[in-house]
């Protein structure tokens, strides 16, 4: 898979884990890769949602998410620069 090709929401199932970029709401120039769970949407029966930080977000292709940490890190490093641990 091309590291810039995100997964499609239609290919996900409940229980899958995705990785997405999360910007700190208090410091907009700080971003990190966060794992999130795919869960049943408690507000829309039969639909899935992204569960991140105790919040449900409707699953849609408007979110940029990846099914592997390696894919997310490749784009993160290209966009934000390499990180050092």
pLDDT in tens, 2-51: 444 555 666 789 999 999 988 877 887 778 899 999 999 999 999 999 99
Distances (CA, A) of 68 to 26, 29, 57: 27, 24, 20
Give me the pLDDT at residue 3, please: 46
Region 52-63: mean pLDDT is 87
- Whole-angstrom Cα distance, residue 42 to residue 21? 23
**More confident: 67 or 10:** 67
- Whole-angstrom Cα distance, residue 22 to residue 31? 5
Q: Which residues of 33-51 are buried (b: 16+ CB within 10 A; e: fewer)?
A: beebebeebeeeeeebbbb
* pTM score: 0.77
User: 35: number of CA atoms within 13 Å, CB side?
Assistant: 7
In the predicted model, is pLDDT for residue 1 greater than 50? no
What values do phi and psi take at 62, rounded to 5? Answer: -75, -20
Instruction: Classify residue 10 by its DSSP letter.
Output: G
């Amino acid at each position: 898979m091309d590291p810039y090709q995100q997964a499609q929401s239609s290919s996900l199932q409940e229980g899958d884990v995705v990785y997405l970029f999360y910007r700190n709401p208090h410091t907009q120039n700080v971003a990190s890769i966060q794992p999130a769970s795919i869960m049943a949407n408690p507000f829309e029966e039969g639909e899935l949602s992204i569960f991140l930080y105790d919040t449900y977000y409707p699953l849609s292709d408007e979110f940029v998410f990846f099914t592997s940490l390696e894919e997310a890190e490749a784009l993160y490093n290209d966009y934000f620069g390499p990180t050092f641990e």
